[in-house]
Amino acid sequence: MKPTPIRLRRACAAAAAAGVLIAPAVAGSAYGSAVPQRSAPVSAAPTPTPTSPSTPFPDADSEFVRLTPAVAAQLDAAVREVMRVAQVPGVTVGLWAPGKGSYVRSFGVADKASGAPMTSDLHVRIGSETKTFTVTALLQLVDQGKMSLDDHIGTYVTGVPNGDRITLRELAGMRSGLFNYTLDDDFVKAFEEEPERSFTPQQLLDVAFKHPVLFEPGAEFDYSNTNLILLGLVVEKITGRPLHDVITKDVLGPAGLRRTVFPTSPALPDPYAHGYTDQTASGKVEDSTHWNPSWAWAAGEMVSDLQDLRSWARTLATGTLLKPETQAERLKTTPMDIPGAGYGLGIFNVQGWIGHNGSIPGYEVLPVYLPQALATMVIVLNTDSQYKGQEPSTLFGEAVTSIVSPDHVYPGHKPVAPKAG
């Protein structure tokens, strides 16, 4: 699944496997973020984490269990096991469902050097979750009658291959056929050698457009951070304002998100968790906290925290910032590469969980909403280093949902049961 984070090479697959991921560092899951990242797709391969029971708790209903002390204890054990297996420094898990209670717990450390604990109030980079804000800003312009989803990108940005045929709808739905710049070998190498370097949107497009188109517009699904760079430029052209200003004033403000920012520098607002990645020139894990996320821009540059992501997950899934007919267009999904998963316009539906994941070197987030139970799940962690080809956020999402929503397991396959002894 490709819609996951924006990880550089790995970040390419946000939709793949339910964790939509983005391309290397420069993108963050369907999945993704600023540095060469995996987009944030969820992986479809079975996970080795011994975290899920074969049967739900007796007090569970078909949608979401009551978050009793016994369930909380089971969640604690599941989260710790994923941390151990995937070597995750720190993670916070939040669950909320009306009538079922809540669960908010932090585990591990936010800073390996100081040993400071992970806490629920820390800012993290959110990678490809940024895509949901960029597309929301675009859809607001649709509501204002300033553009149409069926406009061609060539109307707004010159020099785009097939620009006279690719629609804005196909860009937002990851069906443009344009090459994902974060998969370019030279780009990844340049980023890994100089992660503090700043990139402009045009430089990112220049990388993408060196490559031939992958398929005819609308023919296939292929998660590409390039699509979001173009949509960010469309928002800027129509509004006459910088993208960060549009999102801050027109999306974050009305949504009531006061701890979410679209930064214009590598700085993180206090307090923040340090991030750790193996997307490095040496291949060794390094502290990527202050790497420059400009390479992800409209696809994965933003920063948020647990409570704002909780609020945004519901706002995004229910469409409170958009007209009902526009939200309905957003939620029309086309198949990704795993059963029970589809990608809409900057959003996915994976086994009933609606939202988007995000990954960028050092961080991953998974904020999703289950309408059937009015339930929200948010997972934030301070590494994007994969375990056996899977995003760590996907491993946590699977472990948690196997316990709390056994009929809606993210991303859809059953975890491997632990062996005794």
Q: What is the distance between the alpha carbons of residues 401 and 387, in angstroms, rounded to a whole number?
A: 19
How far out from the chain centre does Cα 400 lie?
17
Q: Is the CB of residue 306 less than 8 Å from the CB of residue 120?
A: yes
* 309-338 as b/e: b if 16+ CB within 10 A: bbbbbbbbbebebbeeebbebbeebeebbb
Q: Are 175 and 221 in contact (CB under 8 A)?
A: yes
Nearest to 356 by CA among 300, 403, 414: 300
Beta carbons within 10 angstroms of residue 275's beta carbon: 27
One-character DSSP codes across 244-297 = HHHIIIIIIHHHT-SS-B--SSS--PSSB---EES-SSSSS-EE-TT--GGGTH
Cβ count near 242 (within 10 Å): 14
Phi-psi label, residue 346: left if phi above 0, alpha if psi -120 to 50, beta otherwise: left
Residues in Cβ contact with 62 at an 8 Å cutoff, skipping those fewer than 6 apart: 407
Give yes or no for a cis peptide into 392 (omega within 30° of 0): no
Closest Cα to residue 293, out of 305, 306, 275? 275
Which of the following is catalytic: 106, 128, 288, 359?
A: 128
Quote the CA–CA distance of 192 and 29 in Å, as a whole number. Answer: 19
**Integer Cα distance of 264 and 267 in angstroms:** 8
Single out the residue of 400, 394, 325 nearest to residue 128, CA to CA. 394
> What phi and psi, each to the nearest 5 degrees, are found at residue 71?
-70, -40
Contact (Cβ atoms closer than 8 angstroms) between residue 188 and residue 44 = no
Assess whether 128 carries a catalytic annotation.
yes
CA atoms within 13 A on the CB side of 320: 12
Q: How far is CA 159 from CA 170, 178, 298, in A?
A: 17, 12, 19
Q: Which residues are known catalytic residues?
A: 128
